[in-house]
Amino acid sequence: DQQVKQNSPSLSVQEGRISILNCDYTNSMFDYFLWYKKYPAEGPTFLISISSIKDKNEDGRFTVFLNKSAKHLSLHIVPSQPGDSAVYFCAASAQSNTGKLIFGQGTTLQVKP
Amino acid sequence: EAGVAQSPRYKIIEKRQSVAFWCNPISGHATLYWYQQILGQGPKLLIQFQNNGVVDDSQLPKDRFSAERLKGVDSTLKIQPAKLEDSAVYLCASSLVGSGTKTQYFGPGTRLLVL
């Protein structure tokens, strides 16, 4: 039972364009969502998060959108840069469940110069 | 501020052998997590500590995996005996208690290969 799904294993975009990474979840108890970025041979690095009381959170080039009715969130990167090439993981947690994170499978983003 | 430290970075063992991984969380972080990440999948929580107590070990294969955090700071994860399917990256993460954000900070991981 995969509660957090990233249905696109990979995404390729041109430098300077927008990258949109998607994530779907099934558990309506999730109230906090995070995006992590992972480079090869390194641990995941926290990127941006959003609480379920919001529908948008922005940090520089990164914006996360949350659509609770659709149980869907997305990460927008504008403009995309070659250094953004990495694996991106969506994760979710529920306040009532010790706060443990449930991760999606990840999406590999390649930004071409 | 120093990040989460893990050692070793790489380990190759034969099946049925034992192995241990070490983690030192960010200073002041009371909550510590061990994750298993199999190739092509997202990290899966194995065990969560709050100080030196276990909060969640529901997905820890207790017949072969064990973990401890005796003094509420660093932690050790052990596998005995190892199986081929234990080949994965073992990630340690930590977070502040009561931060409300649940943001976890990860170490570089230990890549385990069981032959």
What are the residues whose beta carbons fall under 8 Å from the beta carbon of A77, sequence distance 6 or more?
A: A18, A19, A20, A21, A61, A62, A84, A109
Reduce the DSSP state of residue B90 to 3 states and report it: strand
Q: Tokens 């120093």, residue? A: B2
Residue in B4, B104, B107 nearest the CB of A101: B104
- Better-predicted residue by pLDDT, B99 or A7: A7
Residue B15 near residue B38, CB atoms below 8 Å: no
Give the span between the Cα atoms of A37 and A39, in whole angstroms: 7
Count of residues in chain A: 113
Q: How many CB atoms lie within 10 A of CB B53?
A: 9
B98 contact residues in A (CB cutoff 8 A): none
The pLDDT score that the predictor gives to residue B96 is: 85
The pLDDT score that the predictor gives to residue B70 is: 82
Say yes or no to pLDDT of A96 above 80: no
Best residue in A37, A98, A105, A107 for a mutation probing chain B (most B CBs within 10 Å): A98
Instruction: Name the minimum distance, in Å, from the CA of B30 to any CA of chain A.
Output: 13
Q: How many CB atoms lie within 10 A of CB B81?
A: 15
Give the residue from A5, A1, A3 showing the smallest Cα distance to A89. Answer: A5
Instruction: Say yes or no: B91 contacts chain A, CB-CB below 8 A.
Output: yes
> What average pLDDT does this structure show over A9-32?
96
- The answer to whether the Cβ–Cβ distance between A100 and B45 falls below 8 Å is yes
> What average pLDDT does this structure show over A37-53?
93
Average pLDDT across each block of 10 residues of chain B; the chain has 115 residues. List them in order: 91 97 94 94 94 91 94 94 97 78 87 97
Instruction: Say yes or no: B108 contacts chain A, CB-CB below 8 A.
Output: yes
- Better-predicted residue by pLDDT, A56 or B51: A56
Helix or strand run (H / E) with residue B93: strand B88-95
- The answer to whether the Cβ–Cβ distance between B42 and A32 falls below 8 Å is no
> What average pLDDT does this structure show over A79-100?
89
Handedness of CA B8, B95, B50, B44 (dihedral sign): negative
Give the span between the Cα atoms of A59 and B91, in whole angstroms: 26
> What average pLDDT does this structure show over A25-39?
94
- The answer to whether the Cβ–Cβ distance between A98 and B104 falls below 8 Å is no
Give the span between the Cα atoms of A102 and A99, in whole angstroms: 9
